[in-house]
Amino acid sequence: MADVNAFITEESIEGTDDGPLAGTTVAVKDNISTAGVETTCGSRMLEGYVPPYDATVVTRLADAGATIVGKANMDEFGMGTTTETSHFGPTRNPVDPDRVPGGSSGGSAAAVAAGEADVALGTDTGGSVRCPAAFCGVVGIKPTYGLVSRYGLIAYANSLEQIGPIAGSVEEAAALLDVIAGPDPHDATTREAGADANYAAAADGDVDGMTVGVVPELFEGAHEGVVETVEAALDDLEAKGAETVEVSLPSVEHAVQAYYVIATSEASSNLARFDGVRYGHSAGHDGNWNETFAETRSEGFGEEVKRRILLGTYALSAGYHEKYYAKAQDAREWVRSDFDDAFADVDVIASPTMPVLPFELGEGIDDPMTMYLADANTTPVNLANLPAISVPAGTAEGLPVGLQLIGPTFGEETIVRAASAVEE
Amino acid sequence: MSDSPDERSDAAAEAAATTADTDEAGETADATDVDVEDVDHVASLARVDLEESEREAFPEQFAEILGYFETLDEVPEFDREAELVNVMRPDEVREGLTQSEALRNAAETEDGYFRGPRVS
């Protein structure tokens, strides 16, 4: 296979000899810190940056015996749906090299789909594990917020993002989640719940008696072939004994707007640290602090990152806070409340992962609204801090289609079980 | 707004009932006015110089995106989740990065310190 540009840095980091991931190769997204190995976030701003410490998930991979084979390409600072905003060039989709792998964890998904790593770690702020999993025909899990430590993850939007596994099968993805899940004294947002679960063992395909909620709002406007493929997968689940019922989530109409207001606001704050003094690209020391700072950031950040920093600064600025940020927080609570109500009646909620088939390279990169709207089905999950999995449902026009299964808080075993029935 | 789940879902239902109207409002809301001076002002607040191509493209893109954000006006007020707790640990001295590790990624250092540009 031609080079899909899955990695920014190829480097072998050996784990200990034994452990549950001994002999397993892992691609790690390049916004996850690896001690002594360059970590760029796909940005010129961090080109050459060598973290002095490991992220907790990297320590856990090493302790489990895994071998890290490289730092996977990504949209710059996790901002994108196609992996085209990387400073190090786009990743190509191994299924069709003229198409994008999805983003922002496109390198991680492509590495698995191309056989360049057994499994991979991505990060999911608004769908960035599930989207590339769907586009590349592999499995991706976005864990419940607080299940996996974010220590050592270079932050984009702290209240939304989680590190999640990508793999060729549900069981492999679940086994990787088993290794990285659990509380961490370095991350006060991690929780005890879920630490004793056995996610890999839940991949038993037994959905007899399970109730699957289907959300009409998340099928509206989706590509016809995507809808047909997802509906066929749901028919298969029914044939295996699951019951499907319609559930309405009216709040999801506002989820994308709320997501982009909150995410860009948090990004504008998080990325303020990149001033070229302690780490990262520096434009030198001519001029005063503000001039140098602005020049450093102009040179270091790409267009999408600047767009989001400015949108976030706008949304938080005097006179607009109530109009955008406060309303987005209300929408977030509404989304949570809607999901809570739905999970009183159903075990999991199903939808297409992406409403579209993989874009062609260059197709939408100059149209930010189109790109943002592609996240309509994944962002509600991050707003509600819930777990979700994308599992291959089949193909349309020869391209992969992902089925998204959303679970209640710490309901990872249930979504793993349901997803494992889909792939049989 | 009350904490009562019934009233909250009533509010949600009302908002949902008005969604049909807001779709149209959302489309016309792209009349949100953003000019290049607005973009320059926000860029200066964010301390990001823009390329000329970005200064040209951003006003129209921001008008469209911010206009879309305005559909959030239809969202009812919701109370914040009440279950938040502080997570505290004893304040104990632990091993951290060495000075050389902390300085290792800096563009310029002097006598064990970071060196930055003039403040003013």
Residue-wise pLDDT for A367-409, tens only, equals 888 888 899 999 999 999 999 999 999 999 999 999 999 999 9
Least confident of A115-119, A420-424, B47-51: A420-424
Q: How far is A280 from chain B (nearest CA, A)?
A: 7
* pLDDT beyond 70 at B6: no
The per-residue pLDDT for range A222-243, each reduced to its tens digit, is 999 999 999 999 999 999 999 9
- Assess contact for A40 and A87: CB atoms under 8 A: yes
Mean pLDDT of B38-45: 94
Report the residue from A53, A294, A369 with minimal CB separation from B47: A294
- Assess contact for A315 and A262: CB atoms under 8 A: no
Instruction: Tell me the C-alpha distance between A27 and A42, whole Å.
Output: 15
Q: Do the chains contact at B80 and A329, CB–CB below 8 Å?
A: yes
Identify the band that residue B81 occupies on the pLDDT scale cut at 50, 70 and 90: low
Identify the band that residue A366 occupies on the pLDDT scale cut at 50, 70 and 90: confident
Which of the 8 DSSP states describes residue A153?
Answer: B
* Residue numbers in A near B46 (CB within 8 A): 268, 297, 309-310, 313
Instruction: Give me the pLDDT at residue B83, please.
Output: 75
What is the signed CA dihedral for A322, A217, A225, A164, rounded to 10 degrees?
60
Cross-strand pairs, A181: A148
Residues of A designated catalytic:
29, 104, 128
- Enter the ipTM: 0.90
Picking from A143, A191, A193, the residue whose alpha carbon sits closest to that of residue A386 is A143
Report the residue from A290, A330, A369 with minimal CB separation from B64: A369
What is the signed CA dihedral for A186, A191, A196, A197, rounded to 10 degrees?
-120
Identify the band that residue B118 occupies on the pLDDT scale cut at 50, 70 and 90: confident
- E-strand spans in A227-268? 243-246
- Which A residues, 359 through 388, put their C-beta within 8 Å of a C-beta on chain B? 368-369, 372
Mean pLDDT of B17-36: 51
What is the signed CA dihedral for A234, A220, A349, A392, rounded to 10 degrees?
50
Q: Do the chains contact at A333 and B81, CB–CB below 8 Å?
A: yes
Tell me, yes or no, if A253 comes closer than 8 A to chain B by beta carbon.
yes
Token duo for residue A129: 């594990």
Instruction: Give me the pLDDT at residue B3, please.
Output: 39
Q: Do the chains contact at A285 and B116, CB–CB below 8 Å?
A: yes
Instruction: Give me the pLDDT at residue A368, please.
Output: 85
Tell me, yes or no, if A47 comes closer than 8 A to chain B by beta carbon.
no
Element (H, E) at A5: none
- Assess contact for A66 and A58: CB atoms under 8 A: no
- Assess contact for A314 and B62: CB atoms under 8 A: yes
Picking from A10, A205, A5, the residue whose alpha carbon sits closest to that of residue A109 is A5
Instruction: Give me the pLDDT at residue A140, please.
Output: 98
Element (H, E) at A212: strand A211-214
Q: Do the chains contact at B65 and A369, CB–CB below 8 Å?
A: yes
Tell me, yes or no, if A314 comes closer than 8 A to chain B by beta carbon.
yes
Please, what is the average pLDDT of chain A? 95
Instruction: Tell me the C-alpha distance between A37 and A275, whole Å.
Output: 22
- Which A residues, 169 through 228, put their C-beta within 8 Å of a C-beta on chain B? 185, 188-189
Instruction: Give me the pLDDT at residue A111, please.
Output: 98
Handedness of CA A391, A396, A397, A398 (dihedral sign): positive
- Assess contact for B50 and A300: CB atoms under 8 A: no
Q: Do the chains contact at B19 and A250, CB–CB below 8 Å?
A: yes
Q: How far is B46 from chain A (nearest CA, A)?
A: 6
Q: At A7, is the secondary structure helix, strand, or coil?
A: strand
Q: Do the chains contact at A278 and B114, CB–CB below 8 Å?
A: yes
Instruction: Give me the pLDDT at residue A372, please.
Output: 85
* pLDDT beyond 60 at B15: no
Least confident of A45-49, A85-89, A142-146, B68-72: B68-72
Identify the band that residue A15 occupies on the pLDDT scale cut at 50, 70 and 90: confident
Handedness of CA A345, A346, A347, A352 (dihedral sign): negative
Instruction: Tell me the C-alpha distance between B57 and B36, whole Å.
Output: 9
* pLDDT beyond 80 at A221: yes
Q: How far is A138 from chain B (nearest CA, A)?
A: 31
Which backbone phi and psi does A162 adopt, to 5 degrees?
Answer: -140, 145
pTM: 0.92
Instruction: Give me the pLDDT at residue B56, please.
Output: 94
Least confident of A232-246, B33-47, B70-84: B70-84
* Residue numbers in B near A185 (CB within 8 A): 89
pLDDT-above-70 percentage for chain A: 100
Q: Per-residue b/e over A64-98, b at no fewer than 16 CB within 10 Å?
A: bbbbbbbbbbbbbbbbbbbbbbbbbebbbbbbbbe
* pLDDT beyond 80 at B28: no
Report the residue from B43, B78, B106 with minimal CB separation from A278: B106
Mean pLDDT of B85-90: 84
The per-residue pLDDT for range A17-33, each reduced to its tens digit, is 789 999 999 999 999 99
The per-residue pLDDT for range A51-60, each reduced to its tens digit, is 999 999 999 9
A196 CB burial (10 A radius; 0-12, 13-18, 19+): exposed
Q: Do the chains contact at A294 and B71, CB–CB below 8 Å?
A: no
For an interface test with B, give the residue of A39, A257, A332, A339 to mutate (most B CBs within 10 A).
A257
- Assess contact for A147 and A162: CB atoms under 8 A: yes
Mean pLDDT of A353-380: 90
Mean pLDDT of A157-165: 98
CB atoms within 10 A of CB A192: 9
CB atoms within 10 A of CB A121: 29
Mean pLDDT of A179-206: 93
